[in-house]
Structure formats: C-alpha cells, structure tokens
Amino acid sequence: MSVLWTSEEIADATGGTASAAFEVTGVTFDSREVGPGDLFIAMPGTVHDGHEFVPQAIASHAAGLIVSRPVNHPHVLVGDTAKALQDLGRASRERSGATIIGVTGSVGKTSTKEAIYAALDRWQPGKVHRSVKSYNNHTGVPLSLARMPRETAYAVLEMGMNAKGEIAALTRLVRPNVAVVTAIAPAHIENLGSEEAIADAKAEIFEGLEADGVAIIPNDSPHRDRLVRAARRHADRIVTFGTGDADVHALHAVRADNGGSLITASLLDSDVTFTISQRGEHWVSNALAVLAVVEAIGGDAALAGLALADLGGIKGRGERHQIRVDGGEALLIDESYNANPASMAATLKSLGEEVGAERRIAVLGPMRELGEHADQLHADLAPSVIAAKVDELVLVGADMRPLEQALDGQVHVTNVADAAQAADALSRLLRPGDAVLVKASNSVGLGRVVDRLTKGMAECST
C-alpha cells in the first residue's frame, strides 16, 4: 500500500514532535481496527482513554502513534490528541486536489453516499474515497479525511448533526465542491424544535462550499425554497433533483422485475434509462440525487446508471436476506440502523409492495430524538402499518405504545421489552414465505435481531 502519512508530515500537521521516523498506510482511533502499518490515535473518551489501548495497538503492529504522553514506540507527541485528529484531517484536505462531495440530510445520507461512491468508482475506478459506515460526526469526518489517499480524485464524505452549528463546523473542515441535501424530516426534532430549524441546520453544509461550489437540493421537499435561499449565499450553482420541474427528474419510474425500479431520468442535457435493485420511492429519489452529483462534476451518467443497477443492499439500511425456516425460506429486510417518521413510512410502504409474500411481519422499535413530539409521531405510523397490510406487528419497548393504541386492534400486535425478546418472538412467528421488516433507531439494538436470525437460521443468499 502507498504511504499515507510520514511522521514528519504528521508532526507538521499537528504541531507535535516525532520520536522517530516512520510511515503509515492507514489511520484509526479504534484499537480493534488496527492493522500492520496503521497510525493509532489515542483519543480521549467518556469511559476509556485511548492511551489504555496503546499496548493492543502495538501488538497489532501499528507503525506509529499519536499520543499526549510518551510511549516506547514510534510516535508523535501532541498536547491534545482530539485536536490532532482535527488537524490531520484539515491537512489532508489542504494537500488534496480531489473533488469533494459532501452529503447530509435527515434520511438517506448514508445510502446516497454509498451510491455516489459506486457511481464515481465505476467511472474512475480506484480513484474515489469515501467515509465508511456512518462516520459523519466531529470525530468521524476528520478521520475520513485523514484516511484519504494522496492520489484521490473524488471523495464522498457524509456529515450528520444532532444540534445547530455542528454541520457548519464539519463543512468548513471538508470544504466540499459539491454539497448534497438528501431530504428533510423530523429527525433530531427534540434538539431543534421544528422541521424548519432542521432544514436550516442541514443547510449549513453550503457554508463550506468552495468558490465554484454546487448545491444539490431535493425539489420535492416542502423546505425546498428555504434550502435554495440558504444555498444562494454560498453556491456558484444550484441543481435540484426530484419530480416536476427539477433539473434532474424522473420522466418515468415503474416497478422492475427484480422488485426495484426502472427509471428514465431527464438530466441537464440528456436522458438516461437504468434500473435500481432497491425497493421504494425513496430509492428513486436517492438515485436522482446521485445523477445530479454526476452531472454537477461532469461525470458519466450512463456508467452511473450501471453502477446503480449493480448496487447491493447496505447493512442496516435495506440489506435483504433469504433465511431458512422450517419448511422453506423467509425474506428478512434489515433496516435496523436508523429510523425516523419519513424512513419508517417509506420502508413500510416497500414492505406492503413485496410481491409474493405470504404474510408481512414488521418488527418496529422506537424512533429516537423526537422529544415532546415522540408519542404523536409514533402514533402517526398507524396508517402506514395498515396500508402495508402488515399481518403481524412486533413492537419493541414502551415507547411504541402510542402506535399500538392508534392501531386500535386493526393489526395483531406482540409487545416485547427489548431486542432479545424481539428475536425470540420473531423466531416463533416466522413461517415459509414471510417477508419481515426490522426497523428502529440504532440505539434500540435491533441489528442483533438480524444477526441472530441470519446466523442462527442458515442464510440462503443476500
């Protein structure tokens, strides 16, 4: 692997002092991820100090460390390791000639980030970098920048937030050439108070745009004009995506044989027809956002269409598993990583459209960070559950009681306390031909339900 950082470059970027000369090929602050040649940053933590894990990092053959106290291993000594990570990310951005795409939104940002990456990598293979997992906060974003190879031509970086001002700080670090807002929904409304405030917080991404920057905005959002006004203060150009008069819009979007969608999209100067394997109207919107990015940077839309056709499911965000049950197979749809009212409604609609399902089962846990709106927003899911023709509903935790009350006996409900009980209940309920949706905010832990069922019941295919 090519050299990512030398000890001299790390010291220059962080203002630290190198104990010896070394070179690294990767960067991490998680000792469990350290591999040969990596740089381990001993970050402070709320429970554990990263310095406690220096021996493990050394045992895993870390080539160097960033520490705030001397150790008996090649290192760069700094006063504040958290600040050093920020400095290293900033230095990576400053030395890079890459075109940077920043992605944010209430829903769809990780899926859209992955889809943009796939589209650009099909066009420029081996020259595209992206943030992994959902590394989208004050530590994940600088880490993703610090990991960006020198030869990167394009990078796709996700930015998230819980409060006002957080994306503003991240976007000034990332300095995107293209800034994408996927959608606005009442996620984090507990901290921000209204959807308008959420839109304003997401629009902070435009503040970091480079001088010739492009803003990509969802045309179908009720907050479109609010986003456009914010973008005009910083963007050289605005491209909208969606339906109607959007710059990039779907001329036709119909169900494909594979359950996804066949889309003909009108771009700025041409049309392109392609398929996506992912189910649901929200994925049509994600695909249009991808094409808007490709158009903005002068990429190859036809290759982007091929990449979208080949894009597989993403763990926790729609990945599909065929699992064996007594007498046959069942479909398990993993949406366990995140949940808010918009994504709940969209995935329930997709469940209702599953062709060939003998029964539809939904395992739903709470949506977090809804504050005083939580009870009403959970109750408001009832029409989506009914429209999806859910036969069995497993509700996890007391926070789901408003939904049960709103359903008023129209769907058979099993109440459980936690993820372990949800897995037990689902194991008892499953029959051949079932289609099962598992969805909640990540903190509920329903990913463990998926892991148990895919490992405990032999998985046929993904």
Any idea what DSSP says for residue 458?
T
- What pLDDT shows up at residue 188? 66
Q: How many residues does the chain have?
A: 462
**Domain range annotation of the chain:** 5-79, 96-310, 319-461
User: Is the confidence at residue 447, as pLDDT, over 90?
Assistant: yes
Residue whose structure tokens are 């963007």: 235
Report how far residue 375's alpha carbon sits from residue 171's, in angstroms, rounded to the nearest whole number.
33
Residue ranges of the annotated binding site for ATP are: 105-111
Residue ranges of the annotated binding site are: 105-111
Query: CATH topology for 5-79?
Result: 3.40.1390
Lowest-pLDDT choice from 57-71, 241-255, 388-402: 241-255
Report how far residue 301's alpha carbon sits from residue 454's, in angstroms, rounded to the nearest whole number.
36
Reading the block at residue 226, the tokens are: 């609010």
For 400-413, how does the pLDDT look when each residue is reduced to its tens digit (9 = 90+)?
A: 999 999 999 999 99
Give me the helix-helix angle, 166-174 and 81-95, nearest 10°.
50
- What pLDDT shows up at residue 45? 80
Residue whose structure tokens are 């729609």: 318
Residue 460's pLDDT band (cuts 50, 70, 90): very low
User: Is the confidence at residue 291, as pLDDT, over 90?
Assistant: yes
Reading the block at residue 12, the tokens are: 């220059």
Residue 279's pLDDT band (cuts 50, 70, 90): confident
β-pairing verdict for 392-396 and 412-416: parallel
Report how far residue 404's alpha carbon sits from residue 396's, in angstroms, rounded to the nearest whole number.
11
Average pLDDT, the chain: 93
Give the sign of the dihedral formed by CA 249, CA 252, CA 318, CA 189: positive
Any idea what DSSP says for residue 314?
B
**pLDDT: which is higher, 196 or 313:** 196
Give the sign of the dihedral formed by CA 20, CA 26, CA 30, CA 35: negative
- What pLDDT shows up at residue 456? 62
Asked whether 23 and 97 are in contact (CB, 8 A), the reply is: no
Residues 61, 63, 68, 70, Cα dihedral to 10°:
80
CA atoms lying within 13 Å on the CB side of residue 230: 26
Residue 461's pLDDT band (cuts 50, 70, 90): very low
Residue 236 phi/psi, 5-degree rounding, is: -75, -30
Alpha helices in 182-263 (DSSP H): 189-192, 195-203, 224-232
CATH of range 96-310; options 2.70.98.60, 3.40.50.720, 2.60.450.10, 3.40.1190.10: 3.40.1190.10
Cα angle for residues 372, 163, 203 (degrees, 5° grid): 115
Count Cβ atoms below 10 Å from residue 447 Cβ, excluding itself: 17
Query: CATH topology for 319-461?
Result: Protein-Tyrosine Phosphatase; Chain A (3.90.190)
DSSP characters over 268-305: SS-EEEEEE-S-SHHHHHHHHHHHHHHHHTT--HHHHH
User: Is the confidence at residue 313, as pLDDT, over 80?
Assistant: no
Reading the block at residue 266, the tokens are: 């009108």
For 210-232, how does the pLDDT look when each residue is reduced to its tens digit (9 = 90+)?
A: 999 999 999 999 999 999 999 99
| Separation of first and last alpha carbons in the chain | 31
Q: What is the mean pLDDT of residues 102-130?
A: 94
Nearest residue to 235 via CA among 205, 218, 215, 208 = 215
Tell me whether the CATH fold assigned to 96-310 matches the one assigned to 319-461: no
